[in-house]
Amino acid sequence: MSDVITSNVSAKLDGLRQRFREKAVHEFEVLCSIGQAVASQTADCEQLAHADHSLHRLAGSAGTFGFSSLGEEARRLELLVKPAVDLCKTGADSGLANLDDEMARDFGQRLQSLQDFLDAGGEPTTRVVAKPPESASNEPLVLVIEPDAAQADNLVSGLGLYGYRVQLVEDLQQWQAGSAPTPPLVIVRDQVFLAGGGRLNETFADLPIVCIGATDCYRHRYALANEGADAFFCEPLNLPLFANHLDNLLTDRADAESGRVLIVDDDQELMEHYSLVLSAGGIRVKTVIGDPGLLLPALSEFRPDILLMDLQMEDISGMALARMLRFEPEWLSLPIIYLSAESDRERQLEALARGGDDFLTKPLSDSFLLRTIRVRCYRAKQLNNLVSRDSMTGLLKHSLVKSEAASEHARCERMGYDSAIAMLDLDHFKRVNDSHGHRAGDVVIKGLANLLRRRLRKTDVIGRYGGEEFMVVLPDCPMGQAELLLNDVCKDFSKIAFEGKSGEFNVSLSVGLASLASYGHPEEAIEAADRALYERKRSGRNGVTVAFQ
Ligand SMILES: Nc1nc2c(ncn2[C@@H]2O[C@H](COP(=O)(O)OP(=O)(O)OP(=O)(O)O)[C@@H](O)[C@H]2O)c(=O)[nH]1
């Protein structure tokens, strides 16, 4: 990964810093006149409240734009004026009664001097770590480091069946000589890994490294783990289990690097800054500014992993918004993180007691923001997966895949395109269990789930409908194209060799396919796909039958 974000994002961040500067200059003119009034003991409650609000915002935002000293001074002045503002709230004519002459003069002069901090220039901004561009393909590129040509051929063809593209090299030097993109996962012969003495870890920092080898004992496994390997598989490889493990490693990594965040703030520049930084780091971001009435529709449409919300936005309280969201059962478990310049632990705790889950105190560095949000999104996804995903396959559960089918049906009507819906069922699966054992049967089910994940697009929906039955929804996909694709899936699946009690075996797959747009109701399309599946089973299994209306 690179430590430099793209020049395009960098230029946009510089533009935001410039906008912050310009706004701050305007703000200082107002603060300067309030400073004069404070120094001469003539400031009223309205002016003090304005100064408090303004200083609070500067304290929270200046650091983000590279003016930490300005932010720190604003924070100190905010703490000085706060008691006076609180006194005003009790109805006192002027909160200045709380400041003695000398303090008032000092406070007034310091307000007038804020511009000096801006003129000092600020510190150079640090830039976040960018995420390498994602491959449009759903077939991950796996780097295999294998000096033995015959073993290498076996791996390439075996992994190819599961939809992995393999880049093969004999040793690390050969890879470094090439100019290929960095793969998301490395498979390496154990002896090559150990001989490299940690060089692989340095070269592929953060990437999962999976070792394969013929020796299996405690000392060997310990040595591999000690050098930083993430997994070890002993030969002969059980390919379905191996592919399943690779898939889990990749899904875990993808979960850790992606996420969806909805940001609610009233500071345009700050929000744009966060949004740019998070997007550059691979997080998908949506923002809501100005009208909090847009929050609920934005949540329903965007379905974020976490909500990042300012604690106080003009006259809108983030705490009240959080409580309001919790009225809806749908948003009860949505993690809400307050983003605030509030450093008082008591007030933070009060906010957490009112519907929030955590606090990020402004200002915060770009890399801290990105790292925290990544970890938070990852945790939120893991919890969400527990609820919505089938634990054996990681695919959507029955009710969720059905509701996705219904949403896609509605989209077909809105957008005027056709989408495919298919029911998939393993053939003679009872026999598989009876002959090879239930555990081998489970490996077959996971094998199909992995193959589907690899072969279908990221936008396709895959669910485990029942025991050995699956449902897939292929958005914006004409019937002919869907039939070709699913026929390929059937062919590849039937070639996979599984291992059971009675030796190697293959399993075939039957598919019933229907067009979502051709039916008035999603349930009718599901029934049609089901009938087509039944027809396929009757007429010989192992392939695809398209439903006729
Ligand atoms: N190993 C394993 N077996 C399962 C699981 N869920 C369902 N099954 C088995 O899948 C088998 C399905 O059998 P049937 O519905 O008779 O169908 P089939 O033998 O696949 O025959 P056809 O569908 O007609 O080709 C049953 O024996 C179930 O016990 C699971 O999670 N793991």
Task: Enumerate the H helices of 136-293 as residue ranges.
Answer: 149-161, 172-177, 190-195, 199-203, 218-227, 239-257, 268-280
Q: Are residues 540 and 422 in the same domain?
A: yes
* For ligand 1, mutation pick of 426, 429, 506 (most atoms within 8 Å of CB): 429
> Whose Cα sits closest to atom 9 in ligand 1?
430
- Domain stops at, among 234, 256, 278: 256
Name residues contacting ligand 1 (CB within 6 A).
425-430, 433, 438, 441-442, 445, 467-468, 537, 541
CATH number for the domain that contains residue 232: 3.40.50.2300
**Which range of residues forms the domain containing residue 216?**
141-256
pTM higher than the cut 0.90: no
318 within some domain: yes
Tokens of 396: 């959507």
Tens-place pLDDT, residues 152-194: 998 998 888 888 888 899 888 887 655 566 788 999 999 999 9
Name the H helices within 304-462.
318-325, 345-353, 366-388, 398-415, 429-436, 438-455
Q: Whose Cα sits closest to atom 26 in ligand 1? A: 430
Same domain, 63 and 95: yes
Residue from 395, 397, 433 whose mutation best tests the ligand 1 pocket (most atoms within 8 A of CB): 433
Confidence category of residue 134, pLDDT binned at 50, 70, 90 = very low
- Distance in Å, CA 432 to ligand 1 centroid: 8
Quote the CA–CA distance of 373 and 528 in Å, as a whole number: 43
Q: What is the pLDDT of residues 226-252, one digit of tens each?
A: 999 999 999 988 888 898 889 888 888
Determine what percent of the chain falls in helix, strand and coil, rounding each to the nearest 5: 55, 15, 30
User: How many domains does one find in the chain?
Assistant: 4
- Which of 331, 366, 388 lies at the terminal end of a domain, its last residue? 388
Q: Is residue 129 part of a domain?
A: no
538 and 448 fall within a common domain: yes
Indicate if 87 and 161 belong to the same structural domain.
Answer: no
Burial class of residue 26 (count of CB atoms within 10 Å of its CB; 0-12, 13-18, 19+): exposed
Does 432 lie in the same domain as 302? no
**Residue 136 covered by a domain:** no
402 and 531 share a domain? Answer: yes
The rounded Å distance from CA 544 to ligand 1 centre is: 19
How far does residue 422's CA lie from ligand 1's centre (Å)? 18
Regarding whether 538 and 437 lie in a shared domain, the answer is: yes
Protein residue closest via CA to atom 8 of ligand 1: 467
CATH code: domain of residue 461: 3.30.70.270
Residues 299 and 229 reside in one and the same domain: no
Mean pLDDT check: name the lowest of 10-14, 173-177, 532-536. 173-177
pLDDT tens digits, one per residue of 202-232 = 888 778 999 999 999 999 999 999 999 999 9
Distance 465 CA to ligand 1 centre (A): 13
Domain assignment present for 61 = yes
The average pLDDT across 125-149 equals 67
327 and 197 part of one domain: no
Indicate whether 128 belongs to any domain: no
Let me know whether 346 and 451 are in one domain. no
Reading across the β-sheet that carries 231-234, which strands appear in turn? 165-169, 141-145, 185-189, 209-213, 231-234
Give the count of alpha carbons within 13 A of 276, CB side only. 24
> For ligand 1, what atom is nearest to the CA of residue 439?
1
